[in-house]
Amino acid sequence: MQCAGWLHVMRTTGGTRRSVWSEGERISLTSAQLQHSLLQRTASLYPRRLSALQLFDRAAKASWWNPRFDSKVLEEQFRQSSFTQTEQHFRYALLYVILSALVYALSACTVGRDTWPQVSAACLVLALLSFSFLMLTLFRNAIYRRNASILAMSTLWLVAGFSLAPFALPPSPMEVEENHSVAVGSFSICLSVLVLSYTLVGPLPLYMICIFGVLYSTAFEIMSWFVLNHVNTWTILAVRILLQLSIHILGIKIRLLAETSMRNTFYKVGQSLLVRRELELEKHLKEKMIHSVMPPSVAQWLMKNTAEDGDEQQNTANSVPMHPIQAADRPLHQLPQPRSSNQLTFRPFNMHRMQNVSILFADIVGFTSMSSNKTAHQLVGLLNDLFGRFDFLCQKNGCEKISTLGDCYYCVSGCPEPRPDHAKCCVEMGLAMITAIREFDEDSGESVNMRVGIHTGTVLCGIVGTKRFKFDVWSNDVKYANRMESTGRPGKVHVSEVTHELLLDQYHFDEVPQNGEKDKKERKTYFIRHRKITGGRHSWPRFQAPMLARIGPQLSVDAAAESHPSQPMSGSSDPSDNSHAALNTRKASCPPLSEEANSDENDEDWIGEEVVFHPTLAQPLPWHHQANNQIGNQYDLHNPIVGDAPPLGAGGPIVIPGQPRRHSSLSTLYSRKDSGVVTARSSIQLESTAVEINVDRRGRTSTSTGRSSGVSSIRGYSIFGEDPALSFRQQIRKQSDLQMIRCIQQDCADAELFVHPPVHKLSLFFKDNFIERGYRDRLLGRELYPTLASPTFTVYLCTAVALIFYFVSLVTCFMLFPTPNAVFLSFCFVASFAHIAVAMVCLREILAMRGNWQANDCFTATFRYLMKWTPLHVVGLFLLCVPILAVFSNFACDSFFNNWQASDGFCLLSFAFLLHFTNFSQVKFWLRSLFATVAGLALVMFVGGVFCDSSRCTEISRRSYLCRNSDNIIWDILVHIILTSILVWLLNREFETSLRLSFHGGWLASQDQKRMQVLKRQADWLLHNIIPRHVVEQLKTTSRYSENHREAGILFASIVNFHELYDESYEGGRECLRVLNELVGDFDELLSKPQFRNVTKIKTIGATFMAASGLNPKLRRENPHPFTHLFELIDFALAMHKVIEDFNLNLLEFKFILRIGYAHGDITAGVIGTTKLYYDIWGDAVNTASRMDSYGMPNRIQVPEHCLPVLSEMYTFKARGSMYIKGKDHMNVYLLESKKGKQLHKIPFKRQQTIPAQL
């Protein structure tokens, strides 16, 4: 009741506590740094020449005229992934050809020239053929896929042939002025055909399109020169050649950017998926480690609470919501800062009261005599073997392991997930432990037994503290269950009366006789005699290692990822999802990714499975267990594993041609010896093997293999690269490419990343405003290794094309209009200055990027400003409009109507520069298209003489074809302008769609990757708060962890009067544990301070805090003094006294009393267990430190005599005298008085102080 009273006072007085989380270690790896890390890791496989600009990542050498990957398998997969979009573009091209043919046929009939029947017939034939090709793509798609290139080239030559048909129908001599109309119209058609060939027609290589374009342009100019000789001059010919070259350059730029952009996106998506796969595997591995020490629901609460805490602080610091692209570049998971006093009264506290929970305590009888003649290292090996058996039984019987305390093992059932058979689960667990320890005695030659006590009642379950926390249970019923164990008999299961009443109909019991009046006051207890009901559940097989030697080394890493999908930590766990369930695999097929592997059911030397790939890694995959592959049979001697390979972790290294791939090579990898006893390898280690294989793609990435052949293939490409012509590096690169292809096929099976971006149909804006903002800001970022496909380089290339068009416009205008007017000259001056300025800014950025120019703040600021959304649109539209404005500025009524060369040239330039509006795909498509349409309407108005006096035609009618047949000419010009404008709208829309598609594909992959980073980092944070970081790293690479440490410091600190304050009458004792959580949390915060970096918290045992120092060999080597870690531990003990003083002041009249015991000496640190990992330390020094605490004095630090030679250098002590210590006889002990304040002198570190030990 005292605890309840002070808690009430604290709440009403507004007492404050600091945050649950200290600053700790922060991970600030951004998405850009992650990509940089990936590129560094693959640099040896994919060297980059920074001196030469690449088209895109992994572009083949000399591929400018045929962009392709340097890997055949990548190129083939890219063509498959992007074929839908290519097919869509081809359909658009056919639709445009059909529309143009019908419009020209209608125009010919309307004008009524003599040749209209032939022209109309030709146009209708072209429309009919194009329609048949369109139907082929819609209803005979398989035929089109097989013959796409042939159909594309046939379409090009077909359109080219029909576009040259007007030259075969020369007009009659009476209509020579029509030659001008034919010359202008045919040139417009020629330019449209060229643009179509470069942009929309089929999967043809760029060099083939260029060859077609050159041949077509040459044929057009030759035929035009000879057929329309009346209207051709050398000036007109030169102008047309310059315009054709400009359109070729524009077409090549469009095609090149489209090819490189899609390939770059494809590769980056694959790269991101590979990184995500690595993160997913590592996250899954660490989740298994976390779940081995606490239930998934508790782990989920911890990570969720920390994430929400960090988000709350971020929102408090900045009320403006952060854009996801920007948020991805900040640390994805930051531990919250300590909160101020007005933010939170208590730390987050996860403690739940649960009823109907059975608690089991088991102690090894004879452990002291067994350990008396063994070293700590040998003892750890025996405990690991024994507790590994118990961990397996714990999972099998539906129990949750809580912890081990020396030789004591305790677990619960019905907590944290309630279950009705909790009592039976604990009893079966106890009986199985007794059987298991008998087998242990036979195997190890020992003579120990188990004493088991079980009680059923109410518990408080949760975690206490903020570092090295573990799931634990507290209550008076827990204490009673411990008492049931201590009062039991070896080889018997001792149960309480409450548990007995729950199991009356299932077991026979022997009541424990009561002697004396004191026993009669106690509750009745019982021993289990035997079961009333027997069944398969109780037929315990002898514990043994699974037959891992039968598992072949060529297991697929992809199968590993498939069989162990990443699942979020949830409040419930699947009982089948445990360490030994990892030895089940699924059989399925994966067409067309892999060919069906041959198998021989009688061949046990080769184990291989075909793997099916689910569309997304983020969703759980179904398990297909066989009836005989249940958990209990994994260790059954009568059910050996012979047909299935473990999906995660049992996969060995990649099989290299010429080296044996028999299972014998794994005999040392998957077995271990503990004092002559072979036990099961930890499931965590089995999984870490697969993580290592997948993480290092430079030489250990493997894929699924067949039993007999040992090789799987993807469309004929061998995974192991048996082609002798390939080098070893090429073989590994091919395997890495195949792994990427598997990721892409698995995650992008529906091709959404390459076909349909989530945009509005009309505006093409992304439906998600955050994605739209990221798309608009993409030019502000910098890539580590820019390529031609980089957003900034596309701007450079578009600017270069705009400069070429501007130069051509100047040259051609001076050729056609020898006497330029003042408007044109003024316009040229302004436009030239603007072009030079833009060119200088871009050139300076390129040179600075390549390291040939020092950065300049002015240029850099100007460039970054111009790359913003609005300035980029303004500059882009200006550069797009300059060429056609230069032409329009030369318009003059006299020269236009009196000089047919000027009027023809005016129209030719206008049609060519209308197509220039397809440049600058960074500018919104409707803006570019709208400006092109306005320019086209202006051309119609110029040709129609809207801006000129109509009486001029009467005066010069003999010399102007525009006046003699103005209606027909205007109609022809209008038809060509309409079709050209439609083409510009179509191309601009498709270009922006493709650009947004590329951005969205990369964005989706990166967001998935970043989400996996968040989950992985949360798992990192949680795992490193359970097991020391250096231990985790070693657990991922070795089967187990054990290390001897010389002169390590150990500390036990007990709150001696906490049991007096604990009272279950107030909220079941939950609020009392809240106070304990606050105090332990304050102790944990000390560990984050740099002056205590050598101190490691081991665990909390009730109200006792255990810590050690000198357990990290790397830190010890960096210390200035060989005993720095011991001094830090004493300083830590002093700081704990200071913390408890402040704690008592903050909580008013709380008067916690702290008692600390210290010792140092040789210890063994290790992780014991197989499915339930537990980090602890053992050794005589640990026992001594515990006795120093137990026999210590309140508010003092007690040390044994042998510690004085080291500690007296920095501290003063007072002798307490000789006293009897249990298990140690009489010892001289001392109490710490004060610190001398002496500075440490740097002494060379002796490397012999830490000796690795292999169990």
Tens digit of pLDDT for each residue in 1107-1121? 999 999 989 999 998
In the predicted model, what is the mean pLDDT of residues 715-730? 48
Cis peptide before 647, with omega less than 30 degrees from 0? no
Which residues in 1137-1187 belong to E strands, given as ranges? 1154-1168, 1174-1178
Q: Which residues contact 1202 (CB under 8 A, 6 or more apart)?
A: 1161
| 658-713: pLDDT as tens digits | 334 333 333 333 333 333 333 334 444 444 444 443 444 333 333 333 333 333 33
Type and span of the H or E element at 4: helix 2-13
User: Given 3-state DSSP classes, what are the helix, strand and coil percentages for the chain, each rounded to the nearest 5?
Assistant: 55, 10, 35
C-beta separation of 642 from 350 below 8 A: no
Residue 766: DSSP 8-state: B
In the predicted model, what is the mean pLDDT of residues 1043-1055? 93
Look at residue 727 in the predicted model and tell me its pLDDT.
62
**Structural domains for the chain:** 2-22+1041-1252 (3.30.70.1230), 351-537 (3.30.70.1230), 544-569+577-747 (no CATH)
Token code pair at residue 220: 């057009």
Look at residue 485 in the predicted model and tell me its pLDDT.
92
560: phi then psi, degrees, rounded to nearest 5: -60, -45
The residue type at 166 = P
State the DSSP string of 674-725: ETTEE-PPPHHHHHHHHHHHHH-TTT-------TTT---EETTEESS---TT
Distance CA 1142, CA 448 (A): 47
> Closest Cα to residue 751, out of 83, 56, 201?
83
Distance CA 435, CA 391 (A): 14
Question: Would you call 945 helix, strand, or coil by DSSP?
Answer: coil
Q: What is the band of 918 on the pLDDT scale with cuts at 50, 70, 90?
A: very high
Using alpha carbons, list the distances in angstroms from residue 212 to 82, 193, 215, 521, 1079. 23, 11, 5, 105, 81
> Closest Cα to residue 1079, out of 1138, 1028, 1134?
1138
User: Which stretch of 289-293, 346-350, 554-558 has the lowest confidence by average pLDDT?
Assistant: 554-558
Question: Would you call 972 helix, strand, or coil by DSSP?
Answer: helix
Look at residue 194 in the predicted model and tell me its pLDDT.
94
Token code pair at residue 389: 């058996």
**Which one of 73-87, 692-706, 726-740, 874-888 scores highest in mean pLDDT?**
874-888
In the predicted model, what is the mean pLDDT of residues 202-211? 87
In the predicted model, what is the mean pLDDT of residues 621-625? 33
Burial class of residue 894 (count of CB atoms within 10 Å of its CB; 0-12, 13-18, 19+)? exposed
651: phi then psi, degrees, rounded to nearest 5: -65, 125
- The per-residue b/e assignment along 209-242, b for 16 or more CB within 10 angstroms, e otherwise, is bbebbeebbeebbeebeebbeebbeeebeebbeb
Look at residue 517 in the predicted model and tell me its pLDDT.
54
In the predicted model, what is the mean pLDDT of residues 120-140? 90
Look at residue 585 in the predicted model and tell me its pLDDT.
31
User: Which stretch of 72-76, 420-424, 457-461 has the lowest confidence by average pLDDT?
Assistant: 72-76
Q: 966-1024 vs 72-111: helix axis angle to the nearest 10?
A: 160
pLDDT > 70? residue 122: yes
| 384-412: pLDDT as tens digits | 888 888 988 988 999 988 888 878 899 99
Token code pair at residue 356: 């109907």
Residue 420: DSSP 8-state: T
Look at residue 852 in the predicted model and tell me its pLDDT.
52
Using alpha carbons, list the distances in angstroms from residue 122 to 118, 181, 435, 979, 1116. 6, 19, 94, 18, 89
Question: pTM higher than 0.85, yes or no?
Answer: no
State the DSSP string of 777-836: TGGGS--SS--TTSHHHHHHHHHHHHHHHHHHHHHHHHHH-SS--HHHHHHHHHHHHHHH
Tokens 């009982």: give the residue: 575
